[in-house]
Amino acid sequence: MRILLTGGAGYIATHTAVELIAQGHDVVLVDNLVNSHPEAVRRVERITGRTIAFHVGDCADPEVLEKVFAEHEIDAVVHFAGLKAVGESTAQPLRYYRNNLDAMLTLCEVMEARGVRRLVFSSSATVYGACEQVPITEDMPLGVTNPYGATKLFGERILTDLADASPDWHITLLRYFNPIGAHPSGLIGEDPNDVPNNLFPYLTKVAGGKLPVLRVYGDDYDTVDGTGVRDYLHVVDLARGHVAAIDHIDDRAGVGVYNLGTGRGTSVLEAVRAFERAVGRSLPYEVVARRPGDIATCYAAPDAARRDLGWTALHTVDDACEDAWRWQQANPDGYRTAT
């Protein structure tokens, strides 16, 4: 199939492009580069040995998408494009709602007009809100605690209403848990623009000497060692989850919803130890107060994806640490290293 990846120059999309091409699919990428670098697309070309069709433009602009669909015979879309920083979304709610919802609505309108009705959507475990019952299954109550999460929940709702109204649509909502790691080649990986908010990119920068010390947000949770527990998923496994979703998109009409996670929880201190093993030395950290809005424990029940999509996460957190460290060493300043 020929698959359009919106947000195609981003962290998860570039890894997905590599895996889709490896499985015989064609890809077309569109991205406005608000949180990515064109070098990422050149790296995908290096890994795959293919020339990639890449359009720079905003998915909220109908002219951009109409041009993309006019130039390429698209069979299905994976919609990654969106702003994703939780803290920033609280400070700039209108920017998040405008960008994430406009991009979604414009994409669906152009797809409908073109008669392309196969869509995979990047959703998030954030739609489970403060749900503390684990493992999390897809039927658990939804709720949100920040504007970013609200854009994901509204996105799911828009797509569900669309499928209810028009039975030709085949839509898969993928709720990612915590993606980490990098491609084993060391050529593509996570490249945050500013100081990272998330644990693994932060830890990677501490290991690379770019940041002095990791702050561990609280060690008084009711968990194995008092620190927060999450379901960290290697980005290559996550990318293969998209290939599985695309390969099963014709199975049934309507909306399918799947958690993509490992089903295993890892604490912050366990994550630090794993990264230390990859680097071969200890890493500086200090325990500070809890981060507002954090929950103690969150991990997926990934059974539905295994049953319906035949997908399971295969990599360990140690694998992801080794790959993230390889990426950091080869690209100390991310994609800017190359330019």
Site residues, ligand NAD (CB under 6 A): 6-7, 9-13, 31-36, 58-60, 80-84, 99, 103, 122, 124, 176, 178-179
Stretch in the footprint of ligand WQD (CB under 6 A) among 52-60, 208-216, 301-309, 326-334: 208-216
Greatest extent of the chain over all pairs of C-alpha atoms, in Å = 57
Please list, residue by residue across 4-34, b when 16 or more beta carbons sit within 10 angstroms of its beta carbon and e when fewer do: bbbbbbbbbbbbbbbbbbeeebbbbbbbbee
> What are the beta bridge partners of residue 198?
none
> What is the smallest separation between the CB atom of 254 and ligand NAD, expressed in angstroms?
22
CB distance 248 to 25 below 8 Å: no
Q: What are the catalytic residues?
A: 148
> What is the smallest separation between the CB atom of 120 and ligand WQD, expressed in angstroms?
15
Stretch in the footprint of ligand WQD (CB under 6 A) among 38-46, 198-206, 243-251, 321-329: 198-206
CA distance 302 to 135: 9
Identified binder of ligand WQD from the candidate list 35, 36, 126, 262, rule CB under 6 A: 126
Torsion of CA 20, 32, 88, 155, to 10 degrees: -60
Residue 197 interacts with ligand WQD (CB under 6 A): yes or no: yes
Contact letters for ligand WQD, residues 152-191 (x by CB under 6 A) = --------------------------x-------------
CB distance 279 to 325 below 8 Å: yes
Residue 216 interacts with ligand WQD (CB under 6 A): yes or no: yes
Pick one of ligand NAD, ligand WQD, none as the site partner of residue 228 (Cβ within 5 to 8 A by kind): ligand WQD
User: Which residue has 């073109």 as its token pair?
Assistant: 114
Q: Which residues in the 224-243 window bind ligand WQD by CB under 6 A?
A: 228, 230
Residue 217 interacts with ligand WQD (CB under 6 A): yes or no: yes
> What is the smallest separation between the CB atom of 159 and ligand WQD, expressed in angstroms?
16
User: Which residue has 């929950």 as its token pair?
Assistant: 295
CA distance 51 to 113: 28
CB distance 128 to 142 below 8 Å: yes
Pick one of ligand WQD, ligand NAD, none as the site partner of residue 266 (Cβ within 5 to 8 A by kind): none
Residue 312 interacts with ligand WQD (CB under 6 A): yes or no: no
Q: How many CB atoms lie within 10 A of CB 327?
A: 24
Residue 124 interacts with ligand WQD (CB under 6 A): yes or no: yes
CB distance 18 to 188 below 8 Å: yes
AA letter at 148: Y
CA distance 191 to 215: 20
Pick one of ligand NAD, ligand WQD, none as the site partner of residue 334 (Cβ within 5 to 8 A by kind): none
The H or E element spanning position 275 is: helix 268-279
| Closer to ligand WQD by Cβ: residue 2 or 215 | 215
Residue 202 interacts with ligand WQD (CB under 6 A): yes or no: yes
Instruction: Kindly list the residues in this chain that would bind ligand WQD in the complex (CB under 6 A).
Output: 84, 86, 124, 126, 178, 197-199, 202, 214-217, 228, 230, 268, 291, 294
